[in-house]
Amino acid sequence: MNRESILIVEDEEDIAGLIAHHMEAAGFNVIVAYDGATAFKEMEKQLPDLILLDLMLPDTDGIEICKMLKQKELTRNIPVIMVTAKGEEVDRIVGLQLGADDYVVKPFSPRELTLRVKGVLKRLSALREGQKVLKLGKLALDLDAHTVAIGGKRIDLTLTEFNLLRELLLSKGRVKSRETLLNNVWGYTFEGYNRTVDTHIQRLRHKLGDHGKIIVTVRGIGYMIREEEQL
């Protein structure tokens, strides 16, 4: 069985070593890079299944690296977990806006980190391994047939509305920034197009009727569907 590989980008050798140790113990292949340049070199050799990305690095900081990863076709879909030092509240949000999949705050417990890593990978593998229908209560989104139904009743959505709902369902429990949605649904990130997202979300909510409320607005950031949402 192929083990999943994790690229750890962390300049503090002690911390990098500690994370590497726990990831190996959890059954992952580990690659360590102490700076951004090395990280990109490593990725030319082998694309990791997930990246643990420290925010404060000597050359390029984690934010820049995340941006670069999300801009490249080849690396766009590699999940990124940002690792931030305590109190870097602003950076956390910036991390999310750049499309990071999750974040952990230093100091973290090995158990917590392992759970986060496995959680992110699990969400993605469900997708890769052909999970055909995403469900939330009575709502069902069929990835292959491109249909959405509530309680068996078909809802007529445009392609964009469908893709928006799919993005939000796939990342249930996490906020998706307008930038990330633009990037993943429309395939571009032009500034000033954020209103486009709002407009389509409004239409989508309207079409979903009572179920429209599952899409929650997160002020100043974007949208999410809560994990625990009951319908």
- Which tokens sit at 204? 């989508």
Question: What's the CA gap between 78 and 209, in Å, rounded?
Answer: 34
Whether residue 222 contacts residue 177, with contact meaning beta carbons closer than 8 Å, is answered with: yes
Q: CB of residue 57 vs Ca ion: minimum separation in angstroms?
A: 6
Where does this chain touch Ca ion (CB under 5 A) — which range of 8-16, 68-76, 144-152, 182-190? 8-16
Max alpha carbon distance in the chain (Å)? 56
Q: Quick one: 51 or 141, whose CB is closer to Ca ion?
A: 51
43 conformational bin, left if phi > 0, alpha if psi -120 to 50, beta if neither: alpha
According to the binding rule CB under 5 A, does residue 56 interact with Ca ion? Answer: yes
Q: Report the 10 Å Cβ neighbour count for 108.
A: 16
Q: Taking contact as CB under 5 A, which single stretch among the options 55-63, 72-80, 89-97, 202-210 is the one that binds Ca ion? A: 55-63
Q: DSSP secondary structure string, 98-131? A: TT-SEEEEES--HHHHHHHHHHHHHHHHHHHTT-
Element (H, E) at 81: strand 80-85
Considering the complex, what minimum distance in angstroms separates the CB of residue 51 from Ca ion? 15
Segment interacting with Ca ion (CB under 5 A) among 11-19, 41-49, 170-178, 190-198: 11-19
Among 4, 5, 11, 68, indicate the residue that binds Ca ion (CB under 5 A).
11
Shortest gap between Cβ of 140 and Ca ion (angstroms)? 43
Look-up of token digits 């939000």: 168
By CB under 5 A, which span of 51-59, 103-111, 117-125, 150-158 interacts with Ca ion?
A: 51-59
Which region, judged by CB under 5 A, interacts with Ca ion, from 4-12, 23-31, 38-46, 149-157? Answer: 4-12
Query: Considering beta carbons, is residue 8 or 96 the nearer one to Ca ion?
Result: 8
Q: Which is nearer to Ca ion, 23 or 164 (CB)?
A: 23
Q: Which of 49, 54, 161, 179 binds Ca ion (CB under 5 A)?
A: 54
* Total residues in contact with Ca ion, by rule CB under 5 A: 3
Query: CA-to-CA distance for 200 and 205, rounded, in angstroms?
Result: 9
Identify which of residues 33 and 96 has a Cβ nearer to Ca ion in the complex.
33
Residue 107: cis peptide before it, omega within 30 degrees of 0? yes
Nearer to Ca ion (CB atom), residue 11 or residue 42: 11
Least separation in angstroms between residue 135's CB and Ca ion is 40
Question: What contacts 24+ positions apart, CB below 8 Å, involve 44-48?
Answer: 46/5, 47/74, 47/75, 47/78, 48/5, 48/6, 48/7, 48/78
Interface residues toward Ca ion, by CB under 5 A: 11, 54, 56
